Amino acid sequence: MKNSLLPFLFKCFALLPLSWVRFLGQQIGHLTWALNSRPAKITLRNIQLCFPDLSPFEQKKLAKQSLQETAKTALEAGAIWRNSWQWLENKIVAMEGDELLRAKVAAGKGVLVLAPHHGNWEVVAPYLASVAHLTAMYQPLGNPEMDKLVLAGRSKLNISMAPTNRKGVMMLFKALQNGTIVGILPDQVPDKESGSQIAPFMNVPALTMTLVHGLIQRTGCAVCSCYAERVKGGFKIVVIEADPAIYNEDQLTSVTGLNASVAACVKRAPAQYQWEYKRFRRLPEEYPRFYKEN
């Protein structure tokens, strides 16, 4: 019963108008803040770390807005997974940098797209797949019914899902060598088995993936960032150049450029970043403990 309830709710949300879903998300985010929940505490802590120049009042205001935006993202996901590209295309009301992405694809060297947890990242994959074939990594969820719903939603159209193992990494290499698009969520904390290095994110030390550096160095691909900002009536697709340092042969310089690329997206709409995630955990003992539980 538990496994079926969540997918059922997402399917119900998919039937509602987008404006209703966003209203519900706003109320859920407001409640999450009012209850001083665990996500609220993590969000505020991250914002305090990354925006030390804001006043305590401004930090709390941004934290509350972030919880509301993250709830909207979650509730919108069902509609994005369940509906067609034609439906979603009608919800994309503005674009910035679309010509940049298309020019990089036309160059034929493969394009690595950094898609951080910013805005509604579920919109990004279908958009990228409308430009060229997309290969993206996918880690199965613990809930089998939810996993089936998400995988089906993300695998439609012109998208190949790569497992989070060696086979999946080889799929990414091959896709770039074939001149297509690879999508990466670049702001997750790598696990112990994955390559990682500590680099600053918003001036705070963060364990950062080295996979992107390896893909660039081995394939010579182009890189850009992309996110779907939530705007009135739908979404605005934004594509911007990655920080030039990301192409550097030195790994630390490159991963620092990776985090700078994510930060450049975040600073454009800070409330729409997923601050509810413990981005600064798993650091070695010599680093500060940024959360009560790491």
Query: Rounded mean pLDDT of 33-49?
Result: 97
Q: Which residue from 195, 283, 201 is spatially nearest to 243, judged by alpha carbons?
A: 201
Evaluate if residue 1 carries a pLDDT over 50: no
Residue 252: pLDDT band by 50, 70, 90 thresholds? Answer: very high
Quote the crossing angle between the two packed helices 144-155 and 56-82, to the nearest 10°.
80
What single DSSP character describes residue 237? E
Query: Rounded mean pLDDT of 8-22?
Result: 82
pLDDT tens sequence across 76-119: 988 888 888 899 999 999 999 999 999 999 999 999 999 999 99
Helix, strand or coil, per DSSP, at residue 182: strand
pLDDT tens sequence across 113-169: 999 999 999 999 999 999 999 999 887 777 777 767 666 666 677 889 888 888 999
Would you state the pLDDT for residue 80? 86
Residue type for position 219: T
Would you state the pLDDT for residue 14? 76
Evaluate if residue 189 carries a pLDDT over 70: yes
Would you state the pLDDT for residue 151? 67
For the beta carbon of residue 286, count every other beta carbon within 10 angstroms: 5
Arithmetic mean of pLDDT over the chain:
92
Evaluate if residue 204 carries a pLDDT over 90: yes
Strands (E), 32-147: 92-96, 111-114, 134-138
Q: Would you say 241 and 104 are in contact if contact means Cβ atoms under 8 Å apart?
A: no
Query: Rounded mean pLDDT of 11-29?
Result: 88
Which string of DSSP letters, residue by residue, matches 65-98?
A: HHHHHHHHHHHHHHHHHHS-HHHHHHHEEEEESH
At residue 234, φ and ψ (nearest 5 deg) are 160, -130
Phi-psi region of 70 (alpha: psi -120 to 50; beta: other; left: phi over 0): alpha
Q: Which is more confident, 46 or 6?
A: 46
